[in-house]
Structure 1
Amino acid sequence: MRLSTVILPVHRWVEGQKIWRRAEDLGFHAAYTYDHLSWRTFRDGPWFGAIPTLTSAATVTQRMRLGTLVTSPNFRHPVTLAKDLITLDDVSGGRVTLGIGAGGSGFDATALGQEPWTPRERADRFGEFVPLLDRLLTEPAVTRAGMHYSAVEARNIPGCVQGPRIPFAVAATGPRGLKLAARYGQAWVTTGDPKLFESGTPAQSEEAVRGQIAKLGTACAETGRDAAELDKILLTGFTPERNGPLESLDAFVDFAGRYFALGFTEIVLHAPIPDSDFAADEKVFERIATEALSQLSS
């Protein structure tokens, strides 16, 4: 059982570096950040780039894993992303996990001047993006002509510190995404069922996630892989409980215990941001970080 956090890139580094150091001091397994150009209610405030933020975080931490949760094709290309990730993996000493998903219809989807892609188009692009990125991170030179993404003698020497490449945590709930997770992922990520966020119940959410895990198992079986090989990551804050699990240590232990029982190996909670959707008591957050796992394992 692992406990990790998400630190949104909303702080100037003079303050942000303190938050990343604190996350390591609190004992989190990993600290992730969102890879967006802007995001929802934070659109009109500070928002910094994910890769530079993670690279900076690598220089002020030593043990904690670092990663995106998640990167998408909305404004990324596999060739340039691979170069950035190899550099980040080198700077961090092999502590990088790439959380990756198909993307959505938010601000990132139109920031480069394009029309928003349909769900099918996003799935098509994701289906090209992940296999090409896998090759770019494992082969010294790659040439591939794709419908959406191509590479011509793209060189990535010396490659990743981690072998054969940095791990992928694939966010997916649909059949095509789950197949990508089964084939290329070292972990699978979910936020639950978005249709239940507004009006669902905790029990309905757990049942929906149980169904997602079953579908992941089917996708793994179809690729000849044991689903138990994949870590299963829950990004909290998007189930019907919302931030309720951060109200107290007991509330979090109850919540996390139910999802660990479903088969999750890692629970990720947002570092508190005052006056936002992720506002929470800092003392409760720190207590969860330092005490929750011991209670869950007892």
Structure 2
Amino acid sequence: EAIPETEILAGVRSTPDADGVKGQANYVYDPDTGAVRLGRFGWKASKFSLRHQAAAALLEDMSVTTTLFPSRACLAGPANCKTGKAGAGLTDTELQAISRYLALVAVPAQRSLKSGFPRGVAPLPYLDVNPTAVAAGAAVFQTLRCSSCHTVSMTTGSSHEFQELRNQAIKPYTDLLLHDMGPGLADNYAEGLAAGNLWRTAPLWGVGYAPYVMGNSGTVGYLHDGRARTLTEAVMWHGGEASTSRQRFVNLSTADRQNLLAFLQSL
């Protein structure tokens, strides 16, 4: 949310690059004011702010109303939102508290260095990394041109409410833009300017923690619908604008592929 719109829009291309990668912005309505704003949250960048994202999730996932979406009729679309009977839900103060909490949640650190555990003490599994493999995998990530969409770094602006979020160099591994991912991932559901085949580039920071967050009994599901059971499967589902990068992945040697996965698992 702290990334300036100008930095996001700088990645938009009117014509595809040599690999066929284009990237486009999604514009959506601000439910507070009705103004058209740049979308940046959600699978299809259909929410423009954390407040918008939180209010939509509360209503759609938990049927909890807010001052932003005061009626469960909002589930049927914006035209019904003001006509439905308002239900008891969260106050604006409570919605603001949730939004501020989300803004300040820390991002997991990349695990690219040897753990500092004393000799003879085994590191926890998620801290047991091979720095050489991670560094080599980062180079493969660039060679495959995954970073054409999964932009490594961005810089936050200077006007965010919280000073600690201003002028920060971050590594989200996303351009926050929409890309055609091909018919294999298309869901035929449009949101704003995002057609069924268009998806916002998913941020990769924290992706390596997924197996540990799910727990021993959990099954990790990658991509928007959880269809990919592994990172390799997730890559292989990439189509459309990512087809060339996917083919480069297919052509990798076993060592390079293992290094790439080690890098992704370190994020």
Answer whether TM exceeds 0.5 for this pair. no
Structure (1 or 2) with the larger CA radius of gyration: 2
TM bracket, shorter-chain basis: under 0.3
Structure showing greater relative contact order (alpha-carbon pairs closer than 8 Å, 6 or more residues apart): 2
- TM-score norm. by structure 1 comes to 0.21
More strand by proportion, 1 or 2?
1
